[in-house]
Structure 1
Amino acid sequence: MPEGPETGLTLVCGADRAAAAAVAAALRGPRGVLVAHDLRGLGEGVVHRRVVDDEGARDAVLELAHGCVACTLRDDLLPLLLRLARDAAVRHVVLLLDPGMEPDAAAEALHTLVPEGAQEPLTGVLALRGVVGVIDAETWLDDAGGDESLVERGLALTADDERTVAQVVVAHAEYADVLVVAGRCPSPWDRVRLDAVLDRLAPRAERLTLADPPGGAPEVAVELGAEIVTRLADLRPDARRGVPEDAHAPLLRGQPPLARDAGVSLLHVGHRRPFHPERLHAAVDVLLHGTIRARGRVWVASQPEHVLRLESAGGALQIGVAGTWLAGSGAWDAVDDERRAAAALRWDERFGDREQQLVVLVHDADPAAIVAALDAALLTDAELARGEAAWRRFPDPFAHPHTDPCAELPGVADEAFDGSEGER
């Protein structure tokens, strides 16, 4: 078996700019390079870049023709990482993401985009050791369940960035292989609830608790860096390690607890029959209140061929097309072995692989009310009996796709659906 790349790469993300920077600095180590892009001027086409190595820090101001994350990745970050990967003096690279950037977009770029002058994506020349997420114990739970916009918080990448704080902080925790929980909760009960949420949101992550914010004395930083490196080297066999997962990946990887704890529960909703599009559109409101996260695959009767991907965080929700069902598509050879096996195991004589699969992380809502609302959105027996030709004529609020202006950014769906307030 051929050996993998010798130079390692670790991603660090977090909404608290100073805390995440302190963790990234602690991780750099000898012969390590820290790379950070400050995207606060992105809307004006300006990006500030800092590179720190054993010789010190070097700052640069980049002027981009188009102020977007995709341009920053393609025109500066990926070529820089390629140069570092080819530098024999560099043993390890730490990539600190801007607080407004979600780690899955960066990781997918590393896995899929080929920089100019290279023959393969960067993960072919850099060993992606994992993602370190940094969250604030005092504020994370409120942020993850809220609907404050990034613009209001001052974390937006551009003036028209419509994402919420919840979407970003949930991604920081959910995508992490090592999760650094820094600071103190307002009360012991809040800490119990925070742990119950994280147990279900990030069951595969190694968790490291810091009573005080990261940083401090140099010896403390060295100790923190060494502890995180140890955790990264001893991850679970099923750890993500920055590998993107598509819409058809198992929803309960890591075996998160399903039992209710401290008012926190993880619902698994599975049905074989389709949703009525209008009733589902009305029902999704229950996913935006008292919940941290909902995600999964949806089948609406008016679009029998399309897999719809549903994702929510706090008070924000997205629904977009994620390909087609295998039923009737003849696309068995175009999908991976895992999806083929899962479809074969659950194949239904009438519906094939089409089904509803959702998980909902509830922290301040009635789980029974969520289940009841989603159940009521399914087709009735009488509607089901009318058949697909009639289903296609149902009024469909999800049938008006628009192209995202940043669709070229990995991790952003090519299509999203306009809908009710709270959706984007």
Structure 2
Amino acid sequence: MSDDGRTPVVMVAGLDARATARAAEALVVAGVTLVHHDVSRLSEGVVVATVRSVDLGGEERIAVNELQLEHGCVSCTLRADLLPLLRRLHRRSSVESIVLQLDPTMEPEQVSWAISHVVVADMPGFTDAPAGADVDVRATIACVEEDAWLTAATGDEEMPGSVDDDERTLAQVAVGQVRFADALIVAGCDPAMREPWDSARLMAVLKRLAPNAPTMIELPQRRLTPILMAQLMTAIPDSARRGRVAGPHDPLLDGQPPLDEDCGVRLVEFNSDRPFHPQRLHDAIDSLLDGVVSAQGRLWLASHPDDALWLEGAGGGLRIAAGAPWLAAMEPEERSFEDPARVAMSALRWDPVYGDRHSAIVVLIHRPDGGRIQDALRSACLTDEEMAGGQQLWDTFDSPFGMSHVEPCDDVELPDPTTRSTGERRNP
């Protein structure tokens, strides 16, 4: 149990179901319950839920249920089975912790957000509350295939097995799983089958995506054991994310990743106190689709003065999303509810006219052409003449970025509405 009485949860994610299963199984000891939802048949409206429990005496029980869903979406899976199950497991005295073995298509950030925010209602004997009232995400472990992950993370392939309305790419899921991780397991391959340079490039990418995550190499001849997994869990620093979902105004270089180049891999930072011209930004997006592992940032768009837009990309896929209001667009009483750290940092760069409005983007590249990205983004900012025209002129700019989006299930708030999709681009 956590200090506050909640049951600890460890999420294990990864694109390779076998690697994820090995890591999750190695976490199962007395007092641990393993939960796995296989969503490979989601397009049929079927999810197979497996619950494997080992009580404090070492006795094992396995329950397998085939769930029929009304809608083919992960949101329904969370609402219908996983979140209520977590609350029920918390009530069992034999359950000291829970391991969630996530399906390869599932992103731990969305699951963690659902645990904290989606209210589970109409459970007999329970008050209406999120599952986070009963369980606590203690850690997220991401499993990475040494010989396949980087190819997946830099491509534009659609997510295999996804349903028709799932527009995510394989790269977006791969990067999202690693970026949210508190610890990494690299499933190593036969050294004779892989160049040392390729392995070094992979490690350089992982170190910049998850800079504080301890990393363990799983060798083909060395099985994962509960002792090894316990050592990995112990190595997770106190400052780890541990289920915390970052907001659009949080630091983009969280964890202080290395800024130097390694094996052609490096982080490119772009900052501007001028807004983007919406059409020129749309044209410049192509520069973020070639040679890029990931891109994240908040955007000041001239035609959208009140809200920061959120940019997020991986490999050959990128989207622009509705973010959160600028402090300068809030009433004073609204600002009093904001994170004090954000208010303090904004005060350091406050402009007397535009307040905290700015653009900040961090791009992780695996081919050394950062100057091209900087030049493309800089040219998309407003010129001196456009700046002089002010908001009255900026409001006349046509914007290719729509702001409307309909969730697949209108009564389930997944993913976080602060990152609703407004535009998607793929590498041609």
Give the TM-score range, shorter chain. Answer: over 0.9
Please tell me whether residue 140 in structure 1 is matched to residue 149 in structure 2.
Answer: yes
- After TM superposition, the structure 1 stretch with the greater mean CA deviation from structure 2, 181-190 or 248-257, is 181-190
Match of 2:363 among 360, 365, 368: 360
Q: Taking structure 1 as reference, are residues 6 and 112 closer, same or farther at Cα in structure 2, changes over 3 Å only?
A: closer
Match of 2:84 among 68, 79, 83: 79
- After TM superposition, the structure 1 stretch with the greater mean CA deviation from structure 2, 401-410 or 372-381, is 401-410
Q: Taking structure 1 as reference, are residues 21 and 118 closer, same or farther at Cα in structure 2, changes over 3 Å only?
A: farther
- After TM superposition, the structure 1 stretch with the greater mean CA deviation from structure 2, 29-38 or 337-346, is 337-346
Match of 1:190, SS state, is helix
Residue of structure 2 equivalent to 1:387: 390
Residue of structure 1 equivalent to 2:165: 160
Paired with 2:425 and 2:385, the residues of 1 have a C-alpha distance of 27
Residue of structure 1 equivalent to 2:219: 211
Paired with 2:425 and 2:158, the residues of 1 have a C-alpha distance of 17
Residue of structure 2 equivalent to 1:199: 207
Q: CA deviation at 1:178?
A: 0.9
Q: CA deviation at 1:211?
A: 2.2
Please tell me whether residue 337 in structure 1 is matched to residue 345 in structure 2.
Answer: no
Kindly indicate whether the alpha-carbon contact (under 8 Å) linking 1:404 and 1:416 is maintained by their aligned counterparts in 2: no
The unaligned stretches of length 5 or more in structure 2 are: 55-59
Paired with 1:311 and 1:381, the residues of 2 have a C-alpha distance of 28
Give the 5 Å matches for 1:215-234. 220-222=223-225, 225-234=226-235
Give the 5 Å matches for 1:307-326. 307-326=308-327
Measured against aligned partners, the alpha-carbon deviations of 1:190-213 in whole angstroms (never above 9, x if no partner) come to 111111111111112111112228
Paired with 1:155 and 1:228, the residues of 2 have a C-alpha distance of 30
Q: CA deviation at 1:406?
A: 5.0
Q: Taking structure 1 as reference, are residues 11 and 415 closer, same or farther at Cα in structure 2, changes over 3 Å only?
A: closer
Paired with 2:349 and 2:409, the residues of 1 have a C-alpha distance of 36
Match of 1:143, SS state, is helix
Q: CA deviation at 1:8?
A: 1.8
Give the 5 Å matches for 1:280-299. 280-299=281-300
Please tell me whether residue 58 in structure 1 is matched to residue 63 in structure 2.
Answer: yes
Task: Give the letter aligned to residue 234 of structure 2.
Answer: A
Paired with 1:252 and 1:388, the residues of 2 have a C-alpha distance of 31
Q: CA deviation at 1:365?
A: 4.6
Match of 1:385, SS state, is helix
Measured against aligned partners, the alpha-carbon deviations of 1:241-299 in whole angstroms (never above 9, x if no partner) come to 11111111111111001111111110111111101111100001111110000001001
Match of 2:132, SS state, is helix
Q: CA deviation at 1:30?
A: 0.9
Equivalenced residues, count: 411
Q: Taking structure 1 as reference, are residues 230 and 410 closer, same or farther at Cα in structure 2, changes over 3 Å only?
A: farther
TM-score by length of 1: 0.92
Kindly indicate whether the alpha-carbon contact (under 8 Å) linking 2:115 and 2:130 is maintained by their aligned counterparts in 1: yes
Match of 1:192, SS state, is helix
Q: Taking structure 1 as reference, are residues 420 and 237 closer, same or farther at Cα in structure 2, changes over 3 Å only?
A: closer
- After TM superposition, the structure 1 stretch with the greater mean CA deviation from structure 2, 184-193 or 22-31, is 184-193
Paired with 1:106 and 1:141, the residues of 2 have a C-alpha distance of 24
Paired with 1:370 and 1:376, the residues of 2 have a C-alpha distance of 10
Q: CA deviation at 1:119?
A: 5.0
Kindly indicate whether the alpha-carbon contact (under 8 Å) linking 2:44 and 2:72 is maintained by their aligned counterparts in 1: yes
Residue of structure 1 equivalent to 2:57: none
TM-score by length of 2: 0.91
The unaligned stretches of length 5 or more in structure 1 are: none
Q: CA deviation at 1:61?
A: 0.5
